[in-house]
Structure 1
Amino acid sequence: MSHVHPHIPSGGGSQASQLRVSVSELHDGPLRRELKVTPTALDLSDSTYRFPFDVELDLTFGMIHDQVYMKGRATTVALTECVRCLGEARVELVAHVDVVYEKNAELLSVESQALGDADGSLAYFNGEEILFASQIRESLMVELPEMPHCSEDCKGLCSSCGSNLNQGPCGCASAESESTSDDCSSQSWQDALRKLKLD
């Protein structure tokens, strides 16, 4: 039975060196790495999201024949605009990482090692070391919601005056009329249903 050997890089090493694993380190069994890296180190960027916080990684690497696997989790917080109230939305990202690396001695560049299948579960390495920043980045990017909210119960903006209804009622006549209209529609529906039952 193999044991997982803990391995936590020192803070003095460069982040680029922390985002790679030498295959020779895996010959004695699975290797665990707990890291905290900057979004810049992962080239983490998006047109609508900001990434001001570090990314925490808890990863385990191991070998099965000529394949290397990486399993674990990547977490961070992204900031963007709430689609309802246009205020700031904090989105907690938790990406579950599960990647298999196939050996290909011809793939020597960082760009080549980023190649893999469409969902990121297969990647390639040059036989000597694993460069895993690309797979971590992709695993986080797919977790970004298309319709982010500041909270599940966000009330949005008043359709008339544009006030943020999370901060309290705006007092608009349109808001009151919409509420009255909804009540009337509900009452009309109930009256119609009652009439059908009587008929």
Structure 2
Amino acid sequence: MTVHAHNNEGIRNAVEAGVRCVEHGTSLHESTAALMAARDVALVPTFAVVEQLLHDTAGAGLTASTRDRVESVREQMTKALAAAKHAGVRIGLGSDLIGPAQGRRGKELRLRAALETPMEAIVAATRTNAEILGLSGQVGVITPGAQADLTLWNGNPLEDPELFSDPNNAVLVIQAGQIVKDLR
């Protein structure tokens, strides 16, 4: 069971109720992060939706005064990520972008690469997300017998994580062993 929770009290209540994953986790405190780690509850922060609101507050139907609150949310979420990492919480990757914004999901990888390392962001998006979904060994890894889900980038995203921001930089996408995109 997964829950969307922002404030620390809600996160703690969800963990104590037996949730397996918390999405957002905006105001996660160190003590609750330690509880999450002890109970093997994963965290999936969502920085891309916050960045989208910062860059297009009016387009989201929000007033300009909301922008300060959104900046505060970004700062809280950054602190929450650090607390979770320090506590040893499994941290996946999700964008919380919906509808037409789906094409910008790669920005979550770029944002996380800036807060961690590009490799940590890739592992969160692949192996850790597979673990959270109960698909360990089947997806999110490159190993015999695993589902062949691979992406070839137009450059090295470990050296230039900005590549993640533009879907056109993914020049080859293999999903379940089938080529679904080929710009080579």
Q: TM-score range by the shorter chain?
A: under 0.3
- TM normalised by structure 1 equals 0.24
- TM normalised by structure 2 equals 0.26
Structure richer in strand, relative to its length: 1
Structure richer in helix, relative to its length: 2
Rg: which structure is higher? 1
